Structure 1
């Protein structure tokens, strides 16, 4: 093929790609914001949910959003805990899954009462997203519990009496209507959560709620509009409304707000009902371009780090058993090095000292992502002897210098995930060395999110495909050659 023809084909491809992206940007997504008045009887509430899904699906919505406590609201602690069910085996969530598949819609079930199998006197308030095939895509356990006690007004509402708090921010979920950041009700009062989700790419923030009448009248609209404006995201807050029992009444006003802070729909106090809103990728893009607050953040002065982050389903919510995959293919015709529960072939090692070795990675966050580990299987940094520590950090410096030379850069991310709560998944101390270039991540600190999830599994499938053993051997051979030149 002539070179001019190749250029022509490339230009045609670029034009088609731009056209498709433009069409996708212009296409709006239809969502239904649902409002109801849950009672203590689960079957009654399920009938309401079923009817709302059936009616909204006829109007071609792609996703429905239901409020917190869409399964039930009781007037005493005993019944609240007693009716809670496990997510996977509970009849209510299974019925929600059937409804999603039956009507070919995605569902955000804003907060169901999840039985805590490890603590019979407590439960979790769990937000569940279900796809149009009926599969559980993601779950989020409410982080902030509403604990209010005002003795002089005879007011006492403490979620912690019967509920345990979640432990993670959940990374935004890809859905047909956009990337959704998951939260529940009281979470809206903590802007750090919303900002964390927006930094991680959320386009829609969700706050399914059962807001009290008094706090709703005072703060509902101003809080939700603030979260939309400051994060330049759509905000969807399905709501409970009206009188649930003699002790409890909810504010209502299920709402959808656009990234400019404009209220698109408001359900008022009607129940049960739903209202349809349109999510516009174009509107989202325009607001973020015209008011580029994410670019104006002063990261040299302040920053926001998420200390406990989760991408995959919790084991209690995941139907697919996770498998442990070997990160390398250690053949029988070569020596292998112990790395935690796996083996690293010698052909993938490019440097070895008396006590330390460096090797190429199965799944790279960025090109040039390599690992350094002690030869002895020390689990934590504190487990190194003084001699091992000196050799280990000398090797880290050598390898960093090598990777910056090979990748023509003058910056590196050098990090150790020291312990399981820091993200360590292999029980063998290792240092990640990642050569950095300007603009390799839109948000510089997102590299830590990628590092946290790069070797995790979802429904048995890795987030990034593993590299072939041939590719890894070729990289190691190149690095050995370059290292010889550098050391000479």
Structure 2
């Protein structure tokens, strides 16, 4: 199965970002891809939350989400939106960092809110407090897709292997891991973490990423990756924007799990005394 990965440099105007996604989705379909993957915060990347707030609405009233559904239907392709900020339905007034999976009929068939929020102080002086504005998701999501059961996760989630273990136990054969990784953490941890998640679960990892200097002043690492269940890197997009393609051999999951049957050998670990 051919999939397309869109490495983006999203900015502060959702209309501009959505136009770039629309072109990429149609191009992916025209080049024979069955699936399109975008990065985290594909529609809006703005660390100035007061400025960005005017663009953040409930999912049901967001015209850019509706337009992407129309594009998926017109191009007849599966679209993984990466993630978008939406108003949380919990009534708190906070946002949710939400993945949306759209089928070729233009229907949203799965959604996942990022569970682990990026609250860190880096040695470089960068400080991030995602929880100041965002409500964390409350449960993992496994979506049915042409790739088989697809685990939906977002960026910082990749540092928490228990989430991937839970999804793998539930049948995940691939993980979507869109990201807007910082440069310092990307250089140190990006490839290692993603390969580890693929190897320990014997599943494909599909990680579309933001790349470069952005309008809001941040810089992201890029290097969108597709990794097979053995941990082999099938695609590394390096720096810059663009559309990459990979042929996914779905039987590879069974081949690897037959060689190293981690799911059959897994034991329930009792509590510590």
TM-score range (shorter-chain normalised) is over 0.9
TM-score with structure 1 setting the length: 0.54
The 1-side partners of 2:190 and 2:31 are apart by 28
Secondary structure, in 3 states, of the residue corresponding to 2:220? strand
1:61-460 correspondence runs (5 A) = 61-117=33-89, 118-120=91-93, 122-149=94-121, 153-170=124-141, 172-245=142-215, 247-271=217-241, 273-299=242-268, 301-302=269-270
Q: What's the secondary structure of 1:217's corresponding residue?
A: helix
Larger radius of gyration: 1
Inter-partner Cα distance in structure 1 for 2:47 and 2:202:
38
Deviation for aligned residue 1:297:
1.4
CA drift at 1:80: 2.9
> Runs in 1 of length 4+ with deviation above 2 angstroms?
79-82, 152-155
In the alignment, the residues of structure 2 paired with residue 207 and residue 153 of structure 1 have an alpha-carbon distance, to the nearest angstrom, of: 25
Provide the C-alpha distance between the structure 2 equivalents of 1:124 and 1:254, rounded to a whole number of angstroms: 23
Structure 1 residues not aligned, in runs of 5+: 1-28, 304-488
TM-score by length of 2: 0.95
Q: Tell which has more relative contact order, 1 or 2 (C-alpha 8 A, sep 6+).
A: 2
Whether contact under 8 Å (2:97, 2:113) holds in the other structure is yes
Is 1:57 the counterpart of 2:29 in the alignment? yes
C-alpha RMSD over aligned residues: 1.4
Measure, in 2, the Cα distance between the counterparts of 1:220 and 1:201: 24
The Cα offsets for residues 143-202 of structure 1, whole Å up to 9 and x where unpaired, read as 00000135x7542211011111011111x2111222110000000000000111111000
Give 3-state SS (helix, strand or coil) of 2:231's partner: coil
Distance in 1 (CA, whole Å) between partners of 2:18 and 2:251 is: 36
CA distance in 1, matches of 2:250, 2:45: 36
Look up the SS of the partner of 1:110 in the other structure: coil
Provide the rounded CA distance (Å) in 2 between the counterparts of 1:157 and 1:119.
21
Q: Contact (CA 8 Å) 2:14, 2:43: kept in 1 or not?
A: yes
* CA distance in 2 between partners of 1:252 and 1:189 (Å): 18
- Tell me, in whole angstroms, the C-alpha distance in 2 between the residues paired with 1:32 and 1:153: 34
